[in-house]
């Protein structure tokens, strides 16, 4: 779906979408349309229950007096509440309703909104972003899908008074959308296609954009003493990998970077502590954290962010086999700390232990943020509306929460506190990989914290938000890429040179 911006002239064909404010006057375009069709628009609104409320819509097919195939009136809500997120939901809603209606083209009219703090150009840029994000579809393996089941809309024109200004504002947003699409693709691919080496190849391909990408194999990781990560991968036929992506966009290329670390378990069977069969296929997206890091690094490179950033992803496949690690095994991590593996299904923290240590030791980052589909317990706590946020630094936690709220990827802070640390004490080693008692997500975070020295650190448990079971305003059901937009926003707001 190609998105462009054009001057607000009423289109001759295709579908047309226009916003209607709740309890406000018709916007300029809506008033023009109403006149062109002899008042049909006002009459249609009066004859229906459509009041311009958010998420309400009214479809007029083949409206007399107009040459467009259909006119969709989409509620914008109250003018003063029309912000970037509302504009994105509006663009997403337009695509959701019309992408498969039969038209090849669609135009979305965006006017200035009285009461909104955003200009028409800024609203148009966010409408375009919402349309783009919602148009995502992973259909490469549907070979027998009929043409009339596939989206018909190929082109979307966002109509606005100052298309040049809108286009300029959209450029960095489009870069982020491209990052989101890569993340969604990677998480959607099955585990026979995306495994540690093929995922590392996907990271390497980003070198074309100016990222420096290095990949460490098992031999190099062994030298570095990464017994925790390697133990998880030892039951798999696939070789474990650690990929490092670097973007040096700051004026001082040597300045300490911000670091992102992702859990990349390309398939999590649970290992010897085998998971039940029901829904085990979901564990293809247990590399969701790594996919976010890779998509984020792509976005930063595409929009040439003025920041130094590193992304590190630990890539392993957790399989049961004759070479797999056993419950009770003791492994030595790169930090030197030993871990008793009580449950081979608590593998993500083992991977992150070495990835976090390596990142911190090698790059001395300003801050380190990890993302992981780490615990089922976070789904019990927060469901799918918020990701869990754990941090050793209040300022970083606040910045992350604010960035998440700004882009609609919400975080809820959970405790990181010493009493929970006692729950992972082991009789035989420095710690064990599962906690006694409750608070499974917190004890997992406490485990990670043992591999952080004094770097400001945050951990996002994204197990509940990585895969959407229902359509969202800008996310069709499936891989959400939750975290890409959030962390891009964090970088823009807090770490980029202005």
Residues of the shown chain interacting with ligand BES in the complex, contacts defined by CB under 6 A: 268, 282, 286, 343, 345-348, 373-377, 434, 440, 463
Query: Which is nearer to Mn ion, 178 or 347 (by Cβ)?
Result: 347
From the list ligand BES, Zn ion, Mn ion, none, pick the one residue 87 interacts with, judged by a Cβ distance below 5 to 8 Å according to partner type: none
Please give the structure tokens belonging to residue 415: 């405790």
- Window 258-287: contact mask with Zn ion (x via CB under 5 A): -------x--x-----------------x-
Closest CB 463 distance from Zn ion, rounded Å = 8
The angle that helices 288-302 and 196-204 make with each other, rounded to 10 degrees, is 10
Catalytic residue at 78? Answer: no
Query: Which is nearer to Zn ion, 66 or 372 (by Cβ)?
Result: 372
Order of all β-strands in the sheet with 367-372: 212-216, 241-248, 308-318, 258-268, 367-372, 457-461, 387-391, 411-413
By CB under 5 A, how many residues form the interface with Zn ion? Answer: 4
Of 151-170, binders to Zn ion (CB under 5 A) are: none
Query: Which is nearer to Mn ion, 156 or 351 (by Cβ)?
Result: 351
Q: Is 411 exposed, middle or buried (0-12, 13-18, 19+ CB in 10 A)?
A: buried
Q: Which of 184, 284, 349, 450 is catalytic?
A: 349
Query: Which is nearer to ligand BES, 381 or 392 (by Cβ)?
Result: 381
Query: Which is nearer to ligand BES, 288 or 295 (by Cβ)?
Result: 288
Closest CB 170 distance from Zn ion, rounded Å = 36
Query: Which is nearer to ligand BES, 209 or 274 (by Cβ)?
Result: 274
Of 249-288, binders to Mn ion (CB under 5 A) are: 268
Closest CB 288 distance from ligand BES, rounded Å = 8
Round to whole Å and give the CA distance between 419 and 429: 19
Closest CB 77 distance from Zn ion, rounded Å = 39
From the list Zn ion, ligand BES, Mn ion, none, pick the one residue 463 interacts with, judged by a Cβ distance below 5 to 8 Å according to partner type: ligand BES
From the list ligand BES, Zn ion, Mn ion, none, pick the one residue 377 interacts with, judged by a Cβ distance below 5 to 8 Å according to partner type: ligand BES
Closest CB 264 distance from ligand BES, rounded Å = 11
- Window 302-341: contact mask with Mn ion (x via CB under 5 A): ----------------------------------------
Round to whole Å and give the CA distance between 230 and 271: 13
Indicate the residue whose CB is closest to ligand BES. 376
Closest CB 268 distance from Mn ion, rounded Å = 4
Query: Which is nearer to Zn ion, 178 or 286 (by Cβ)?
Result: 286
Of 342-371, binders to Mn ion (CB under 5 A) are: 345, 347
Query: Which is nearer to ligand BES, 87 or 232 (by Cβ)?
Result: 232
From the list Zn ion, ligand BES, Mn ion, none, pick the one residue 110 interacts with, judged by a Cβ distance below 5 to 8 Å according to partner type: none
Which of 408, 389, 392 is CA-nearest to residue 485?
Answer: 408
From the list Mn ion, Zn ion, ligand BES, none, pick the one residue 317 interacts with, judged by a Cβ distance below 5 to 8 Å according to partner type: none
From the list Zn ion, ligand BES, Mn ion, none, pick the one residue 474 interacts with, judged by a Cβ distance below 5 to 8 Å according to partner type: none
Q: Is the dihedral of CA 495, 468, 195, 352 positive or negative?
A: positive
By CB under 5 A, how many residues form the interface with Mn ion? Answer: 3
The angle that helices 196-204 and 163-188 make with each other, rounded to 10 degrees, is 160
Q: Which of 137, 238, 275, 413 is catalytic?
A: 275
Round to whole Å and give the CA distance between 406 and 31: 32
Which of 266, 265, 483, 310 is CA-nearest to residue 389?
Answer: 483
Of 336-375, binders to Zn ion (CB under 5 A) are: 348
Q: Is 34 in the site for Mn ion (CB under 5 A)?
A: no
Catalytic residue at 349? Answer: yes
User: Which residues are tagged catalytic?
Assistant: 275, 349
Site of interaction with Zn ion (CB under 5 A): 265, 268, 286, 348
Site of interaction with Mn ion (CB under 5 A): 268, 345, 347
């Amino acid at each position: 779906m190609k998105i462009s911006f054009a001057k607000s002239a009423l289109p001759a064909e295709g579908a047309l979408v226009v916003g209607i404010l709740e309890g406000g006057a018709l916007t300029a375009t809506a008033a023009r349309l109403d006149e062109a069709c002899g008042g049909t628009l006002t009459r249609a609104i009066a004859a229906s229950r459509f009041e311009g409320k958010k998420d309400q819509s009214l479809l007029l097919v083949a409206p007399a007096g107009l040459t467009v195939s259909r006119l969709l009136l989409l509620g914008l809500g109250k003018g003063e509440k029309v912000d970037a997120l509302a504009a994105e939901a509006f663009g997403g809603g337009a695509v959701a309703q019309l992408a498969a209606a039969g038209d090849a083209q669609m135009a979305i009219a965006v006017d200035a909104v009285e009461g909104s703090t955003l200009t028409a150009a800024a609203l148009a840029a966010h409408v375009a972003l919402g349309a783009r994000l919602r148009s995502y579809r992973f259909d490469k393996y549907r070979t027998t899908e009929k043409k009339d089941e596939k989206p018909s809309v190929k082109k979307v024109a966002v109509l606005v008074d100052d298309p040049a200004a809108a286009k300029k504002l959209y450029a960095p947003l489009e870069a982020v959308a491209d990052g989101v699409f890569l993340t969604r693709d990677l998480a959607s691919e099955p585990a026979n296609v995306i495994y540690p080496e093929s995922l590392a190849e996907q990271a390497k391909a980003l070198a074309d954009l100016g990222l420096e990408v290095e990949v460490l194999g098992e031999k190099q990781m062994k030298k570095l003493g990464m017994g925790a990560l390697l133990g998880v991968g030892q039951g798999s036929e696939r070789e474990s990998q650690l990929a490092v992506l670097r973007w040096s966009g700051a004026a001082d290329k040597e300045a300490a970077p911000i670091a992102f670390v992702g859990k990349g378990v390309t398939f999590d069977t649970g290992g010897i502590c085998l998971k039940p069969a029901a829904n085990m296929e979901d564990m293809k997206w247990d590399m969701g954290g790594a996919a976010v890091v890779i998509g984020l690094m792509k976005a930063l490179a595409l929009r040439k962010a003025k920041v130094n950033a590193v992304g590190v992803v630990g890539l392993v496949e957790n399989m049961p086999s004759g070479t797999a690690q056993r419950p009770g095994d003791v492994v030595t991590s790169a930090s030197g700390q030993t871990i008793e593996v009580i449950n081979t299904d608590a593998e993500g923290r083992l991977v992150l232990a070495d990835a976090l240590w390596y990142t911190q030791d090698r790059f001395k980052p300003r801050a380190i943020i990890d993302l992981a589909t780490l615990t089922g317990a976070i789904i019990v706590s927060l469901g799918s509306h918020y990701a869990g946020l754990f941090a050793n630094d209040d300022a970083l936690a606040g910045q992350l929460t604010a960035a998440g709220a700004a882009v609609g990827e919400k975080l809820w802070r959970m405790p990181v506190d010493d009493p929970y640390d006692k729950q992972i004490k082991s009789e035989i080693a420095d710690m064990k990989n599962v906690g006694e008692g409750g608070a499974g997500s917190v004890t997992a975070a406490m485990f990670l914290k043992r591999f952080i020295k004094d770097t400001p650190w945050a951990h996002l448990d994204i197990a509940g938000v990585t895969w959407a079971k229902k359509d969202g305003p800008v996310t069709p059901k499936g891989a959400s890429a939750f975290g890409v937009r959030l962390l891009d926003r964090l970088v823009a707001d807090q770490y980029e040179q202005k």
